[in-house]
Amino acid sequence: MCQYSYLITGASGQLGTEWKRALENAGANFTAVDSNELDITDRTAVSEFIRYHEPDVLINCAAYTNVDEAEDPDSANEVVNHAGVRNLAEACAQTGTLLVHYSTDYVFSGAIDDRQRYPNGYPEDAPLRPINAYGKSKLRGEEAVRESGAHHLIIRISWLCGSYGKNFLKTMLTLGSKRDELTVVNDQIGSPTFTFDVVDFTQKLITLNETGIYHLQCNETVSWFDFARMIFCEAGMDTKVMPVDSSAYPVKAVRPVFSKMDTSKLRQKTGDADISITDGIRRVLNEINETDHPST
């Protein structure tokens, strides 16, 4: 990892923070910026910034992730997830920089019938049919990367969790410490991706000089309800979790019912064994409990 120079965009988010920690620990040469330091929607600024720093690898952790607000045409969803990504990709094509871009399971339709069609989850070449504005913008971002001519890795992740920032796992811990009983939806199924696994496997793919599209998430197929119960079990909390349908929590954006992705391509390339949800939860809990580790 130390042989490369890195540029991290979206460095203040949970994934960007995980990348900063990993690169600092490795003694790598990197520059990390958030939107206050580099607005990826400013094409000229992006081009000049990347030409000045000339990184070997650009890790794009910048994204608009508010799925419900993305339904508003005036939101920053399209300009960040599509136009901003296009700016990064075109600049990387000019400098020969490898662009690592993170996408999402939301590029698929998430139809319940697809569970039978794809028992191991969506493969990388499954039909792309996003059902909400967020998913559509992420798909257009993927297309912009592929069309740019830049060397690239597109890694699709889902249900992102880690010890930094806000995510489902940490929300459950907070709610569970305040309530004896919670209701969690049981009709949306998929699997989480942990931030440290994202960094580890991305590094392996970079070292292997891999390009193209890969899927990364844990192996087990679970519902949000299942995931919540696993979190409380590992945390030693007695919070009771009750399953409910998604109709109990009306939202603006339609959610995929089926979000499992096939990760066999990644495992074959890296030679790694299965990625466990339980192991991921335990690692997050350990990191949160470390006295010198930030809680946000």
We report the CATH number of the domain holding residue 45 as: 3.40.50.720
**Is 179 a domain residue?**
no
* Residue 5: predicted pLDDT: 96
Is the pLDDT reported for residue 294 higher than 60?
no
The percentage of the chain sitting over the pLDDT mark of 90, rounded to a whole number, equals 95
**Is 208 a domain residue?**
yes
Is the pLDDT reported for residue 295 higher than 70?
no
Range of the domain at 109: 5-166+191-218+261-275
Give the model confidence (pLDDT) of 154-192 as tens digits: 999 999 999 999 999 999 999 999 999 999 999 999 999
**Is 291 a domain residue?**
no
Is the pLDDT reported for residue 225 higher than 60?
yes
pTM: 0.95
Q: Is 134 a catalytic residue?
A: yes
**Is 172 a domain residue?**
no
**Is 133 a domain residue?**
yes
Is the pLDDT reported for residue 106 higher than 90?
yes
The torsion region of residue 69 among left (phi > 0), alpha (psi -120 to 50) and beta comes to alpha
Which tokens is 21 given? 């920690």
Structural domains counted in the chain: 1
* Residue 1: predicted pLDDT: 62
For residue 154, what is the enclosing H or E element?
strand 152-157
Mean pLDDT score, 73-98: 97
Mean pLDDT score, 251-263: 96
Is the pLDDT reported for residue 52 higher than 90?
yes
Is the pLDDT reported for residue 293 higher than 70?
no
**Is 223 a domain residue?**
no
Catalytic residue among 134, 164, 214, 249: 134
**Is 78 a domain residue?**
yes
Mean pLDDT score, 232-252: 95
**Is 181 a domain residue?**
no
Mean pLDDT score, 281-293: 84
Residue 235 CA to residue 48 CA, distance in Å, equals 47
User: If you average pLDDT over every residue of the chain, what do you get?
Assistant: 95
* Residue 153: predicted pLDDT: 98
Is the pLDDT reported for residue 2 higher than 80?
no
Helix (H, G, I), strand (E, B) or coil at 6: strand
